[in-house]
Amino acid sequence: MNPAPAVGTPGSPYGLPTGITTVLFDLDDTLVPYLPCWTTALDTVTQHLAHTHSGVSGPAIAAAYTRVSDTLWRDYEQALAHLGPTPVIRAHVWRTALHECGIQPDERELGALVADFARQQLLAITPDRQTAALLERLALRYRLGVVTNGDRSTQHAKLGHAGLDGAFETVVCALDTGARKPDPAPFLHACSDLSVAPEQCLYVGDSWANDVVGAHGAGMHPVWICPDTVPAPPGRPPAARFPDLPSCLNALAAHAVRRPARETEPT
């Protein structure tokens, strides 16, 4: 038997626990700097809308969409889940925001808008060779996976545009599987996919509510990616904290290299 290597040694300068064999990641604004891409795409499509609908500005449409999107997605279970497939949900969010701006799109215009917004977001994502190289290094020591609140087609496309699509053994997309983070279900789905126990897993993410609280609830060890200037909310602290993803990945790789990749079975 060749047991999987475990990360973590007593006195680790990173505060990481022992017995870790698996590292799972959030996607948006953890693996992929998604908010800037989302903002760029929103500016592009709302400027176009302003040119085709007089009496309303691009920034006003963008502000309405941001407000409506934040409100509805925050209350996903009550406001959106019953609507069905993800494209229908996204169309509903856009329709609601445009109605606030006095724009009444027909179904054809609405469908084109949803598709263009998604396309513009992907176009704003560029290959991240540094992260890809660090993940390749980590994969020599750990099982790697993703747990994200998005849908499968969109999230896999993001990974592809970032050049990270070959790095992971599993990608759990909670929007397609039912409950979303911070519910334990998507975290445990990844454990089932990889045949690992939650306590063997680090979970790396940028959201305190979804990632730190959610990983703790699933029995994993959360690693929080957040600038040092941001105070931690009240509650159970993460296993470790890093100001950005590269510092986290470098620390994990340096920590793991202290353990042999394989342990020789006794004879």
Confidence band (pLDDT; 50, 70, 90) for 15? low
Element (H or E) spanning 24, and its range?
strand 22-25
The mean of the pLDDT values for the chain is 90
Whole-number pLDDT of residue 64: 98
Whole-number pLDDT of residue 3: 34
Q: How far apart are CA 206 and CA 209, in angstroms?
A: 9
Considering just the CA atoms, what is the radius of gyration of the chain in Å? 20
Whole-number pLDDT of residue 16: 77
Answer whether residue 259 shows pLDDT above 60: no
Kindly state the average pLDDT of the residues 86-91: 94
Report percent pLDDT > 70 for the chain. 90
Q: How far apart are CA 147 and CA 207, in angstroms?
A: 13
Is the four-CA dihedral 58, 72, 24, 9 of positive or negative sign? Answer: positive
pTM score: 0.88
Whole-number pLDDT of residue 254: 83
Tell me the backbone φ, ψ of residue 174, rounded to 5 degrees. Answer: -65, -30
Kindly state the average pLDDT of the residues 176-199: 95
Answer whether residue 8 shows pLDDT above 90: no
Is the four-CA dihedral 224, 156, 175, 69 of positive or negative sign? Answer: positive
Kindly state the average pLDDT of the residues 23-32: 97
Residues in the chain: 267
Answer whether residue 5 shows pLDDT above 70: no
Confidence band (pLDDT; 50, 70, 90) for 14? low
| Residue keyed to tokens 């540094």 | 130
Whole-number pLDDT of residue 9: 39
41-77 pLDDT per residue, tens: 999 999 999 999 999 999 999 999 999 999 999 999 9
Q: Assess contact for 172 and 150: CB atoms under 8 A.
A: no
137-187 pLDDT per residue, tens: 999 999 999 999 999 999 999 999 999 999 999 999 999 888 999 999 999
What are 1's two structure tokens? 């038997």
Answer whether residue 12 shows pLDDT above 90: no
Answer whether residue 193 shows pLDDT above 70: yes
Q: Assess contact for 174 and 70: CB atoms under 8 A.
A: no
Confidence band (pLDDT; 50, 70, 90) for 94? very high
105-119 pLDDT per residue, tens: 999 999 999 999 999
